[in-house]
Amino acid sequence: MIKVNENFLKLKSSYLFSEISKRVSGFQQANPDKPMIRMGIGDVTRALPKACTEAFHKAVDEMGVDSSFKGYGPEKGYGFLREKIAKYDFQDRNADIEPDEIFVSDGAKCDTGNFQEILSEDITVAVPDPVYPVYVDTNVMAGRTGVNKEGRYEGLVYLDCVESNNFIPALPQKHVDLIYLCFPNNPTGTVATKEELKKWVDYARQEKALILYDAAYESFISDPDIPHSIFEIEGAKEVAVEFRSFSKNAGFTGTRCAFTVVPKSCMINDSEGNSHSLHALWNRRQSTKFNGVSYPVQRAAEAVYSDQGRQQIKELIGSYMDNATIIRDQMSKLGYTCTGGQNAPYIWINCKKDSWEFFDTLLNKAGVVSTPGAGFGKCGEGYIRLSAFNSKENVEKAMSQIAQSLS
């Protein structure tokens, strides 16, 4: 008799974004003629940069000629892309990362979820709250938790992120083995200073723990004092893995390309205390379960680092951050406390009431889709997240409709 992995049955019945989709569909069916503006799920709305599409077309043409056709690519990704990533994203920021420590993939979400596969089932896991649901759900699937009680899973160590600590989690009060961090943060939009990150690196080194650092939104950082990578912190290469993505900076949400950095100096122990290379283990996992990102997509990603591409991406990010300013300013004028929207494309808003209730208010009265904070964890209750990924015209219209609905 075939049996289910019963850890999947521990998952809450509805994934956050599935519930949003359900409510949005209900609104559309009840109001077929009423326009709606989506400012919830963090999907981009602007087209790929011209530099990327030109590189994409050229690479597709290469695939149509026998002499330049490419079959299976290198398991870590093509060298031409990994070399650009190492130079522009790390070495130019004094982070000593080499091309062979970079693994090109089809998404940071996939990698953050998959990475826990190579770790023992009996480790203690710490997650921020509010939290990107993938960190929690994949560990539930792996059997590292008990059941969900009152919005939290037994066995996980939750790190409260609230207004009183500026949404920056404090170090755990007890030993943990695996730590998830995300800066700029999804959903709160907060960023961490070098001093704050150093505390985490020092803790991980002391406790022989591992940090999984999600930096998918680093390109939105404008403050020169805020680190873009955890590898800008001394000692981080011994205790951290970093996840990056081309989805939000270059619009690759529908094209799929990202990368994970696993330093060769990062080691992991077996049950007898013997050390093993985390880099080698992740390489083994990827070469077994992943066939790589297509050649045309990797050529398109490489174009991100060209002079033309960098300028076009700067303009893209600037347009989204202009939207963030509009959202933050308008919600502040309406009397709501806001976080984010300055070094991140998300604005985290204290809505002063139940977050799903406020979600329904914005949807039904303003025709605006937000993301309820409760979906990100217990500490997210009482907040909503608005996304800057939209056109300026839609953002201005949405904020006008929100102002009218809340007046």
Residue finishing a domain among 262, 291, 307? 307
pLDDT > 70 fraction of the chain, expressed in percent and rounded: 99
The secondary structure of the chain in percent helix, strand, coil, rounded to multiples of 5, reads 45, 15, 40
Report the CATH number at residue 276: 3.40.640.10
Q: What is the pLDDT of residues 204-249, one digit of tens each?
A: 999 999 999 999 999 999 999 999 999 999 999 999 999 999 999 9
Residue finishing a domain among 307, 325, 350? 307
**DSSP of 129-192:** ES--HHHHHHHHHTT----EETTEETT-EEEE--GGGTT-PPPPSS--SEEEEESS-TTT----
Q: Which region, left, alpha or beta, applies to residue 169 given φ > 0 means left and ψ of -120 to 50 means alpha?
A: beta
Mean pLDDT along residues 176-190: 98
Q: Is the pLDDT of residue 17 over 80?
A: no
Radius of gyration of the chain (CA): 21
Residue 350: which H helix or E strand, with range?
Answer: strand 346-350
pLDDT > 90 fraction of the chain, expressed in percent and rounded: 94
- 105 neighbors 298 (Cβ within 8 angstroms): no
Q: Is the pLDDT of residue 42 over 90?
A: no
Within a domain: 351:
yes
Which pLDDT score, from 0 to 100, does residue 14 have? Answer: 63
The angle that helices 278-289 and 108-115 make with each other, rounded to 10 degrees, is 120
DSSP code, position 9: G
Mean pLDDT of the chain: 96
Which pLDDT score, from 0 to 100, does residue 19 have? Answer: 85
Where does residue 318 rank: exposed (0-12), middle (13-18), buried (19+ CB within 10 A)? exposed
The three-class DSSP label of residue 80 is helix
Do 86 and 15 have their domain in common? no
pLDDT tier, 299 (very low <50, low <70, confident <90, very high otherwise): very high
Do 250 and 180 have their domain in common? yes
Within a domain: 234:
yes
Q: What is the pLDDT of residues 317-338, one digit of tens each?
A: 999 999 999 999 999 999 999 9
Mean pLDDT along residues 86-94: 97
Q: Taking Cα atoms as reference points, which of 363, 334, 365 lies closest to residue 350?
A: 334
Residue finishing a domain among 272, 307, 342? 307
Q: Is the pLDDT of residue 64 over 80?
A: yes
Structural domain count of the chain: 2
Which pLDDT score, from 0 to 100, does residue 41 have? Answer: 77
Q: Is the pLDDT of residue 315 over 70?
A: yes
Beta strands 210-214 and 371-372: pairing type?
unpaired
Beta strands 258-261 and 37-38: pairing type?
unpaired
Which pLDDT score, from 0 to 100, does residue 336 have? Answer: 97
The residue range of the domain holding 384 is 10-47+309-406
Do 25 and 160 have their domain in common? no
Where does residue 120 rank: exposed (0-12), middle (13-18), buried (19+ CB within 10 A)? middle
Q: Is the pLDDT of residue 354 over 70?
A: yes
> Rounded to an integer, what distance in angstroms lies between the CA atom of residue 255 and that of residue 298?
10
> Rounded to an integer, what distance in angstroms lies between the CA atom of residue 384 and that of residue 361?
12
Alpha helices in 35-77 (DSSP H): 50-63
Q: What is the pLDDT of residues 131-167, one digit of tens each?
A: 999 999 999 999 999 999 988 999 999 999 999 999 9
Do 278 and 349 have their domain in common? no
- 213 neighbors 240 (Cβ within 8 angstroms): yes
pTM across the whole model = 0.96
Mean pLDDT along residues 97-116: 96
